[in-house]
């Protein structure tokens, strides 16, 4: 089953580099693209990531991974 949903843009920083970068992720959580450029604020990073997402003009047809893990392999037959 596929879903036509928008990919998400998020912003992140790390302890080693406190500048913000954007990341585009699919519905299933896969990283599609990430900025190399850094931004002074979270708002600027998200705005630039959203602009890039529009430029990419792609449709996310992935399926989200289940939020649970089967324990079927632990049960005896």
Return the structure tokens found at 7.
């990919």
Taking only the tens of pLDDT, the chain with its 77 residues reads 344 456 889 999 999 988 999 999 988 888 999 999 999 999 999 999 999 998 988 777 776 666 666 777 677 75
The residue segments making up the domain with residue 43 are 8-62
Instruction: Decide if 41 is inside a domain.
Output: yes
CATH number of the domain encompassing residue 40 = 3.30.160
Instruction: Decide if 67 is inside a domain.
Output: no
Domain count, the chain: 1
Confidence at residue 26, expressed as pLDDT on a 0 to 100 scale: 87
Instruction: Decide if 70 is inside a domain.
Output: no
Instruction: Decide if 68 is inside a domain.
Output: no
Instruction: Decide if 77 is inside a domain.
Output: no
Secondary structure letter of residue 36 according to DSSP: S
Instruction: Decide if 69 is inside a domain.
Output: no
Confidence at residue 7, expressed as pLDDT on a 0 to 100 scale: 83
Q: Quick check: pTM over 0.75?
A: no
Secondary structure letter of residue 49 according to DSSP: H
């Amino acid at each position: 089953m596929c879903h036509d949903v928008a990919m998400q843009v998020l912003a992140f920083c790390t302890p080693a580099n406190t500048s913000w970068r954007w990341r585009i992720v699919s519905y299933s959580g896969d990283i599609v693209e990430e900025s190399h450029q850094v931004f002074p604020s979270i708002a600027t990073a998200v705005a630039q990531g959203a602009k890039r997402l529009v430029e990419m003009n792609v449709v996310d047809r992935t399926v989200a991974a289940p939020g649970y893990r089967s324990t079927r392999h632990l049960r005896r037959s």
